[in-house]
Amino acid sequence: MFKIVKKYPLNDTTDFLSVYAPRIAAKAQPGQFIIFRVDETGERIPLTIAGYDREAGTVSIIFQKVGKSTMQLGALNEGDEILDFVGPLGTPSHLDGYSRVAVIGGGLGCAIAYPQAKYLHENGAKVDIIAGFRSKDIIILEDEMKACSETLTILTDDGSNGNKGLVTDGLKAKIEEGVKYDLVIAIGPPMMMKFVCLLTKQYGIKTIVSMNPIMIDGTGMCGGCRVSVGGKIKFACVDGPDFDGHEVDFDEMIRRNRMYMDQERHARDEHCNMMKMADKAN
């Protein structure tokens, strides 16, 4: 069992959790992930490691309460325990040797992009962070991203923060200003990553993306997380989750991620109905 030592909301739908998991904290690196299971009947859900404290033995995760399992996780409080918390899984991000990097985060993808930006900043790279959200109400980690970047550009779809646009707009503006990037990291919705990669390909800038396909066991045995990269089948859980964005077949991944949308919606709605019935009974 793994105890939750800290919990707080980042916005109405997104929570931060710090979990006591010293063996994971001792080895975790940026880009890696964990798989949790709330209880014996729960499903296995992968979440990227958002941070770790080796001395305290804690691992941090950030998650959005959008499905049954993340809602169950969100219902837990400090002092409660999670049944399974497995990791670190995946290949760590290769972040050494770069001098100027643009880190692009889309929505919850900023929780994954932040530890990569932090590592780069702490190791001497100049980092520009460009983050995109639907509206100002769901912006997360603004202070943390600002602390590990030369510049932080936050754009919103509706312009509610006074800066309307897409992350590709922000990146293109930086490039046209004359900033010479030797790496772009893009993490967020697949469609966002696709268009970032289409843009950087025009300028010949190396681009790394973090893939989030359907995943089950996290060890490469089930094959559920397969992605096409450079015309070859790769498994995000062991070969990734980072890949060369210019070689990823995003359209295939988007189609596969939509395969179980009806089942996911049914499980979420059923869980919400059960919670409402329980509240009425009390």
Can you give the pLDDT at residue 282?
55
Cα(50)–Cα(53) distance, rounded to whole angstroms? 11
Residue 172 has pLDDT above 50, yes or no: yes
Q: What pTM did the predictor assign?
A: 0.84
What's the pLDDT score for residue 280?
59
DSSP, res 16: E
What percent of the chain stands above pLDDT 90?
Answer: 69
Average pLDDT over residues 124-147: 95
Residue 66 confidence (pLDDT): 83
Q: Residue 112 pLDDT > 50, yes or no?
A: yes
Residues in the chain: 282
Return the SS3 of 58: strand
Q: What is the pLDDT of residue 260?
A: 58
Q: 121: pLDDT confidence band, cut at 50, 70 and 90? A: very high
pLDDT-derived band at 271 (thresholds 50, 70, 90) equals: very low
What is the percentage of the chain residues whose pLDDT exceeds 70? Answer: 91
At 275 the pLDDT is 46
Pick the CATH number of 2-89 from 3.30.2350.10, 2.40.30.10, 3.40.109.10, 2.60.40.10: 2.40.30.10
Which of 129, 174, 170 has its CA nearest to residue 148? Answer: 129
pLDDT beyond 80 at 272: no
The domain 100-257 having CATH identifier 3.40.50.80: the answer here is yes
Segment 80-99, tens digit of pLDDT? 999 999 999 999 989 999 99
Beta bridge partners of 53: 58
Mean pLDDT over 128-139 rounds to: 96
Q: Is the pLDDT of residue 273 over 80?
A: no
Per domain, the residue ranges of the chain are 2-89, 100-257
Amino acid letter, 191: M
197 torsion bin: left (phi>0), alpha (psi -120 to 50), beta (else): alpha
Interatomic CA distance for residues 86 and 99, integer angstroms: 33
Q: Average model confidence (pLDDT) for the chain?
A: 89
Task: Give me the numbers of helices (H) and strands (E) for the chain, helices first please.
Answer: 8, 15
Cα separation, 210 vs 206, in Å, equals: 14
Of 12-16, 144-148, 237-241, 267-271, give the lowest mean pLDDT range: 267-271
Mean pLDDT of 247-256: 88
pLDDT tier at 219, thresholds 50, 70, 90: confident
Q: What is the model's pLDDT at position 79?
A: 95
Count of other CB atoms within 10 angstroms of residue 55 = 7
Instruction: Write down the pLDDT at residue 269.
Output: 55
* pLDDT at site 9: 92
The structure tokens listed for 206 are 């190396």
Amino acid, single-letter form, for residue 1: M
pLDDT band at 213 (very low <50, low <70, confident <90, very high): confident
